[in-house]
């Protein structure tokens, strides 16, 4: 019976497992960003809270895109159980250091998946995840630029307020001449 079920999908068990692992990672990222948003809100960083809420929503969209792909390919997408979401953070800057760490981890996972897809000659999944790899360029860029605000502006005096004000304005890919 298991072999018959495998005929319903072109996904190998390994690739399906990697996709489901990524679904869980995206769900975890969404939950962490939401927790960060709550922490920022409690600590008076309203602009950052709004930015992080949007990030949480975006990560959930990524999760759903992966989830639908697995199901559309005849695989079995698994609704992930998410635990161990931090609720407290060491500092305002620490929130964004963790965000960058998380984005680097996600990039690493997608690179690993691309490698496995290529080796398995699963070019449909390989093509599908190209969108995510391109998205990770933006995610890491924005996270790095936000952290640079802490160095450029500094946290003394009204520095954190200024940083909070600038965070939603950090973007990627826009031509400054437009």
The string of pLDDT tens digits covering residues 92-142 is 999 999 999 999 999 999 999 999 999 999 999 999 999 999 999 999 999
Would you tell me the crossing angle of helices 159-166 and 123-153 to the nearest 10 degrees?
150
Q: Is residue 174 part of a domain?
A: no
Q: In terms of residue numbers, what domain contains 40?
A: 2-169
Whether residue 177 lies inside any domain: the answer is no
Domains in the chain, number:
1
79 with 101: CB under 8 angstroms?
Answer: no
Q: What is the CATH number of the domain that holds 153?
A: 1.20.1260.10
Model confidence pTM above 0.85: yes
In degrees, to the nearest 5, what angle opens at C-alpha 28 toward C-alphas 64 and 106? 80
The dihedral sign for the CA sequence 111, 99, 159, 48? positive
């Amino acid at each position: 019976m298991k072999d018959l079920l495998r005929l319903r999908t072109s996904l190998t068990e390994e690739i399906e497992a990697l996709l489901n692992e990524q679904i869980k990672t995206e769900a975890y990222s969404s939950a962490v960003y939401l927790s960060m948003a709550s922490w920022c809100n409690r600590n008076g960083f309203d602009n950052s809270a709004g930015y992080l809420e949007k990030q949480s929503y975006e990560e959930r969209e990524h999760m759903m895109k992966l989830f639908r792909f697995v199901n559309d390919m005849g695989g079995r997408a698994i609704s992930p159980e998410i635990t161990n979401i931090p609720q407290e953070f060491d500092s305002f800057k620490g929130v964004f250091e963790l965000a960058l760490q998380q984005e680097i981890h996600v990039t690493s996972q997608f690179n690993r998946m691309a490698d496995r897809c290529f080796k398995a000659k699963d070019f449909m999944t390989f093509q599908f995840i190209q969108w995510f790899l391109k998205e990770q360029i933006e995610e890491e860029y924005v996270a790095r630029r936000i952290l640079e605000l802490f160095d450029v502006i500094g946290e003394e005096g009204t520095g954190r307020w200024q940083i909070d004000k600038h965070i939603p304005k950090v973007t990627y890919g826009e031509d400054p001449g437009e």
